[in-house]
Structure 1
Amino acid sequence: MDQGTLDRARSGDADAFRTLTAPHERELLLHCYRMLGSLTDAEDLLQDTMLAAWRGLPAFEGRSSVRTWLYRIATNRCLNALRAGRRIPPEPVAPFAVPPPTRRGEVTWLQPYADSLLEGLPEHTPGPDARYETQEAVQLAFITALQRMPPRQAATLILRDVLGYPLRDVAAMLDTTETAVKGTLQRARAAAPAASFPASRRSQPDRPANRAGRPELRRAEDEVSRRFAKAFTAGDVDGVVALLTDDAWLRMPPAPHEYHGRDAITAFLRASMSHAAGRGLTLHPTRANAQPAFTASLSGEPAGIIVLTVAGDRMTAITRFHGVRF
């Protein structure tokens, strides 16, 4: 940290403040997204964080890095926002008869996170206790699991197991004790077992081999995605269902309707594809949440984002986000 830049920022130099904070904005946006599950809300909270940092800079004593100080502000701003209550989006009304869902999901505010936002993240080596890599900790299963936890549990898990901050730093950020952090972390880990995160690696020694295997995983994902897009745009319900595991899920935030298993998903797809027939459904490949994805359009109009969760040569989940675009 350049003391001269810090002094100028404290004296009200906006350019100096930007020099201090700009390198951290992209990772802070991701942090807020993990906490909130909504990119729209994360963008708002990032701006709130920067405003709070600007106002609080004269009191910053430099006992921690600027990065750690900003994470403390962002974490507590997110916790304050969650205490005040989430912004629950209105439930969309389908333009066709919707089959009865398997269940009504709780995390209707979930939004996708474009992989383009992961590019250019600063290189920070997580602490030795970090359990997840960046891409693992942005997958939809992980983000959804975080949304189901009490907010302080989620914050503790992120700061400790994703970012790798030492116990003492996490305790300072959350204004609590190391003993309390240990207890909260234990409950968070129990609430989020490894099975919740299909791609998670629970031990450091495995990481090099996993990295080496990523090209093969990516090729498998690309092949499944290609076959999905071909079947989906052709209205081939059987072709889509053939790519699913027996216990696959179909979700459609902000609609709460969720369908579990091939039979339930088949019923929904038949109704949905019948409505879309002849209306020029197109898919354009992209990536979101470190997973294969598509931007959809219907009759030339944006029709949401579809994110696929792939395991081997099958899909374990299809998540179609309505009302969002990249």
Structure 2
Amino acid sequence: MTGRSEFERRTEPFRKELLAHCYRMLASVDEAEDLVQETYLRAWRSYSSFEGRSSLRVWLYRIATNACLTALEQRGRRALPSGLGAPGDDPTGPASPTDVAWVEPLPDSLDPELVVTGRESLRLALIAALQHLAPRQRAVLILREVLAFPAAEVAVMLDTTVAAVKSTLQRARARLDEAAPDRSSVIEPTDPQARALLDTYIEGFEKADVAALERALRADAAIELVGTTTWFAGRVTCLRLLEQAVGSPGDWRMISTTANGQPAAAAYVRDATGTHQAFGLAVLTPTPTGLTHIYVFNEPELLTRFSLPLQLPPGGG
């Protein structure tokens, strides 16, 4: 029992950062949680042979990274709609379903402190861009550039050479530059402008005020309907979609939250009884000049991950 309690005491402080690491690798909260569990099981089984040639943190990251690489051998990459094709031009048409595995949003509440310190590396657009990298490229880039492990330690984790790590990192950077959007203008969710944009977005839906939504969107804004291959680019086209969606005043109620270090709105739509049933989550990308992206996850059960109810009673604001 002493050995087990010592193991837990020494390793538990790394659990949440390992979850973030596995999430960056896999783009799935569920899979990341499973892999962290597997990491701790493997670590416990081999703890008696851990000889301290590396730090405990490096040892745990080695186990977690290799568990992720094994998992990635068995499936394709996760994606967002914009990673699958060109934007649509007819918001009145039906969305196109597909069996693609999607990038999942990460509740900031899983570890607020970690999200604050590593917020940029958890933003949805970057998580999606990382999925374009080959798994080992992804691992090297995350370990070196996000987590700042020295090349020698990364080489030990991946059972390779320092030279191989450096060349892999170079290729990963070049590929990421092709896949990743410009993130320099994105502002933090605590910024007053970000809060104002979230409030305007929520007001637009709750009051069926399309003009408010128009004020919130930048001219180059995009809306992605995650779970389908459908997405739209440009404020004019996006507003045509939103005009159909807002309905009448009171049809929607929303609760503000945060996901992937970005402002988000949990959405509820009114049914025939006047009860607002969970619809899903909208994750927003705010900049000083407006929203550039709205990712819509039409998954009611997703709200339970954010400790939110699946329905709201009639009435309320």
CA deviations 1:126-184 (Å, max 9, x no partner) are: xxxxxxx5111111121111112111111111000000000011111111111111111
Runs of 5+ unmatched residues, structure 2: 82-89, 271-275, 307-317
CA–CA distance in structure 2, aligned partners of residues 188 and 162 of structure 1: 13
In the superposition, relative to structure 1, how do residues 105 and 288 fare at CA in structure 2: closer, same or farther (>3 Å)?
farther
CA–CA distance in structure 2, aligned partners of residues 309 and 101 of structure 1: 25
Aligned partner of 2:107 in structure 1 is 114
Aligned partner of 2:313 in structure 1 is none
Q: Secondary structure at the match of 2:223?
A: strand
Do residues 70 (structure 1) and 32 (structure 2) align? no
Do residues 187 (structure 1) and 171 (structure 2) align? yes
Of the three residues 263, 273, 286, the one matched with 1:292 is 263
Give 2:253's aligned amino acid: T
Aligned partner of 2:220 in structure 1 is 247
Name the stretch that deviates more: 139-148 or 263-272. Answer: 263-272
Do residues 319 (structure 1) and 295 (structure 2) align? yes
CA–CA distance in structure 1, aligned partners of residues 109 and 163 of structure 2: 38
Aligned partner of 1:152 in structure 2 is 136
Q: Secondary structure at the match of 2:229?
A: strand
Paired residue total: 287
CA deviations 1:238-286 (Å, max 9, x no partner) are: 4313321222111122222211112331232233334xx4673111111
Aligned partner of 1:229 in structure 2 is 202
Runs of 4+ in 1 over 6 A off after TM superposition: 101-107
Aligned partner of 1:141 in structure 2 is 125
Aligned partner of 2:243 in structure 1 is 270
CA–CA distance in structure 2, aligned partners of residues 170 and 244 of structure 1: 42
In the superposition, relative to structure 1, how do residues 61 and 200 fare at CA in structure 2: closer, same or farther (>3 Å)?
farther
Name the stretch that deviates more: 243-252 or 60-69. Answer: 243-252
Runs of 5+ unmatched residues, structure 1: 1-7, 92-96, 124-132, 202-212
Of the three residues 181, 184, 188, the one matched with 1:196 is 181
User: Quick one: percent identity of the two aligned structures?
Assistant: 39
Aligned partner of 2:286 in structure 1 is 310
Aligned partner of 1:218 in structure 2 is 191
Contact 2:115 2:261 in 1 (8 A): no
Q: Secondary structure at the match of 1:248?
A: strand
Residue 119 of structure 1: how far off its partner (Å): 2.3
TM-score normalised to the size of structure 1? 0.79
CA–CA distance in structure 1, aligned partners of residues 59 and 210 of structure 2: 51
Contact 1:138 1:290 in 2 (8 A): yes
Compute the RMSD of aligned alpha carbons: 3.1
CA–CA distance in structure 1, aligned partners of residues 114 and 152 of structure 2: 25
Aligned partner of 1:206 in structure 2 is none
Give 1:166's aligned amino acid: P
Of the three residues 247, 253, 264, the one matched with 1:282 is 253
CA–CA distance in structure 1, aligned partners of residues 176 and 232 of structure 2: 22
CA–CA distance in structure 2, aligned partners of residues 231 and 310 of structure 1: 16
Of the three residues 40, 45, 64, the one matched with 1:50 is 40
In the superposition, relative to structure 1, how do residues 199 and 134 fare at CA in structure 2: closer, same or farther (>3 Å)?
farther
Q: Secondary structure at the match of 2:109?
A: helix
Give 1:251's aligned amino acid: E
CA–CA distance in structure 1, aligned partners of residues 282 and 124 of structure 2: 12
Q: Secondary structure at the match of 1:43?
A: helix
Contact 2:188 2:262 in 1 (8 A): no
Contact 2:185 2:287 in 1 (8 A): no
Give 1:229's aligned amino acid: I
CA–CA distance in structure 2, aligned partners of residues 159 and 283 of structure 1: 37
Aligned partner of 2:85 in structure 1 is none
Give 2:204's aligned amino acid: A
Give 2:120's aligned amino acid: E
In the superposition, relative to structure 1, how do residues 248 and 101 fare at CA in structure 2: closer, same or farther (>3 Å)?
farther
Aligned partner of 1:165 in structure 2 is 149
Contact 1:17 1:54 in 2 (8 A): yes
TM-score normalised to the size of structure 2? 0.81
